[in-house]
């Protein structure tokens, strides 16, 4: 091997190895210090892209869990108020039953009526003040279906028992059902239209006697409950009116779309509202008191059903939270496998790089000393 002075190839080779080992050592130190395998895009470009997407999804799901927990708290506020309303209605029924007996006179009924009217006023007051984050809950929460304005619901002969909505926009929807034999129903609001086939739910062209059927317009977020008065073609030209309300939509998923949202409504629970309609009742006379009893029974049943709906949504929220938390755990595991550093591996590589760096440094010292042997030729 020639003896050169201007270019020490051996030293250059040792310096190159030292630089490579130093870079490796620096990378291992950074990974051990941060706990991450990917600290910049250069570490793993594809892995970084996947990891960032998973992180965004995890962030959305984490907030969705909080949203569902807050939604549960909201429904608990409403249900607690309705519990007190139910207690007052039961007391009002006791007063009506007492006033329905000839064992008391009209003077006694004046006192009973005073308490009865005060309870009606208190029900209205509770409905107007029950709120969550400055949103009143018991005077109509979320979009609601108008029974009076919807011709598909106001006429019992049509055979639509009820309509429920999940994310349906407010507005007037019109049915098209011109053919009484094709079992197809079209519903639209002028912007969005959906046609469904309910042949499997019908016996010929009608709902079988004593049974019910469901017409689910899932794209619109509207579901109809059909009873045995329904015959194919009855809905043609009929309307379904959805009134807008405040709130009523909970984001329980990381993305936009109906499957990531839960729609929830609470009817107007005021005593003067259409659901209870108690302001027209009176217990001032024996006959009026007896007439008030069935209306109070209906009001108590209406409150009980509303509380049942709230309880059902609370249970649904609980399952939603559990499912989302399970998804967060598994997605976090995937993100961790991509982005987190394997400490055992990094420590091993760190020790290897440290030894090689020390060895390369020692060899570089020896390589730098080789040209000095040229001086011995000049002596």
Please report, rounded to a whole number, the percentage of residues in the chain having pLDDT higher than 90: 40
What is the pTM (predicted TM-score) of this model?
0.71
pLDDT score at 41 = 85
Average pLDDT of span 284-309: 93
Which residue has better confidence, 57 or 183? 57
Which of 91-100, 204-213, 261-270, 340-349 has the highest mean predicted lDDT (pLDDT)? 91-100
Q: Is the dihedral of CA 71, 77, 79, 80 positive or negative?
A: positive
Least confident of 10-24, 58-72, 206-220, 363-377: 363-377
Residue 68 has pLDDT above 80, yes or no: yes
pLDDT band at 344 (very low <50, low <70, confident <90, very high): confident
Does residue 81 contact residue 270 with C-beta atoms inside 8 Å? Answer: no
Average pLDDT of span 63-73: 95
Does residue 220 contact residue 187 with C-beta atoms inside 8 Å? Answer: yes
Q: Rounded CA gap, 290 and 286, in Å?
A: 6
pLDDT score at 21 = 81
Residue 175, φ and ψ in degrees, nearest 5: -90, 140
pLDDT score at 187 = 92
pLDDT score at 2 = 67
Q: Rounded CA gap, 364 and 20, in Å?
A: 13
Average pLDDT of span 43-72: 92
pLDDT band at 101 (very low <50, low <70, confident <90, very high): very high
Least confident of 31-40, 118-127, 319-328: 31-40
Half-sphere exposure of 316 (CA within 13 A, CB side): 14
DSSP string covering 143-186: -EE-TTT-HHHH-GGG-EEEEEESSPPSEEEEEE---SSS-EEE
Residue 177 has pLDDT above 80, yes or no: yes
pLDDT digits (tens, 9 = 90+) for 230-255: 988 888 899 999 988 777 889 998 88
pLDDT digits (tens, 9 = 90+) for 115-128: 999 999 999 999 99
> Per DSSP, what are the bridge partners of residue 87?
none
DSSP state of 32: H
Average pLDDT of span 214-229: 87
Architecture of the domain spanning 41-138+270-340? Up-down Bundle (1.20)
Least confident of 27-36, 302-311, 312-321: 27-36
Least confident of 89-93, 116-120, 183-187, 287-291: 183-187
pLDDT band at 300 (very low <50, low <70, confident <90, very high): very high
Please report, rounded to a whole number, the percentage of residues in the chain having pLDDT higher than 70: 98
Which residue has better confidence, 130 or 264? 130
pLDDT score at 379 = 65
pLDDT band at 271 (very low <50, low <70, confident <90, very high): very high
Domain ranges of the chain: 9-35+343-377, 41-138+270-340, 143-244
């Amino acid at each position: 091997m020639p003896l050169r002075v201007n270019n020490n190839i051996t030293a250059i080779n040792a310096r190159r190895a030292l630089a490579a080992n130093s870079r490796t050592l620096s990378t291992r130190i950074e990974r051990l210090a941060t706990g991450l395998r990917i600290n910049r895009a250069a570490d793993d470009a594809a892995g970084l892209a996947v990891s960032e997407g998973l992180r965004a999804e995890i962030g959305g799901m984490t907030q969705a869990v909080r949203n569902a927990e807050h939604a549960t708290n909201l429904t608990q506020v409403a249900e607690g108020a309705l519990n007190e309303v139910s207690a007052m209605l039961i007391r009002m029924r006791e007063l009506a039953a007492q006033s329905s007996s000839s064992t008391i006179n009209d003077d006694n009924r004046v006192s009973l009526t005073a308490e009865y009217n005060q309870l009606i006023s208190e029900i209205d007051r509770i409905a107007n003040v029950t709120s969550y984050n400055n949103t009143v809950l018991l005077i109509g929460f979320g979009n609601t279906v108008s029974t009076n304005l919807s011709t598909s619901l106001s006429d019992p002969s049509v055979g639509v028992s009820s309509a429920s909505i999940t994310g349906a926009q407010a507005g007037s929807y019109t049915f098209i059902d011109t053919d009484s034999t094709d079992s197809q129903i079209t519903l639209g609001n002028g912007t969005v239209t959906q046609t469904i086939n309910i042949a499997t739910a019908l016996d010929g062209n009608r709902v079988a006697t004593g049974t019910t059927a469901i017409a689910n317009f899932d794209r619109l977020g509207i579901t109809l409950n059909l009873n045995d008065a329904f015959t194919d073609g009855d809905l043609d030209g009929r309307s379904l009116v959805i009134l807008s309300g405040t709130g009523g939509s909970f984001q329980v998923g990381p993305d936009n779309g109906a499957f990531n949202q839960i729609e929830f409504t609470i009817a107007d629970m005021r005593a003067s509202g259409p659901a209870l309609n108690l302001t027209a009742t009176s217990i001032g006379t024996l006959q009026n008191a007896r007439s008030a009893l069935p209306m109070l029974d209906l009001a108590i049943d209406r409150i009980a059903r509303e509380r049942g709906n709230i309880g059902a949504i609370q249970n649904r929220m609980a399952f939603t939270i559990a499912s989302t938390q399970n998804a967060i755990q598994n997605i976090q595991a995937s993100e961790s496998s991509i982005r987190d550093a394997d400490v055992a591996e990094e420590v091993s590589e760190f020790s290897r790089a440290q030894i090689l760096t020390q060895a390369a440094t020692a060899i570089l010292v020896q390589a730098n000393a080789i040209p000095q042997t040229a001086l011995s030729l000049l002596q």
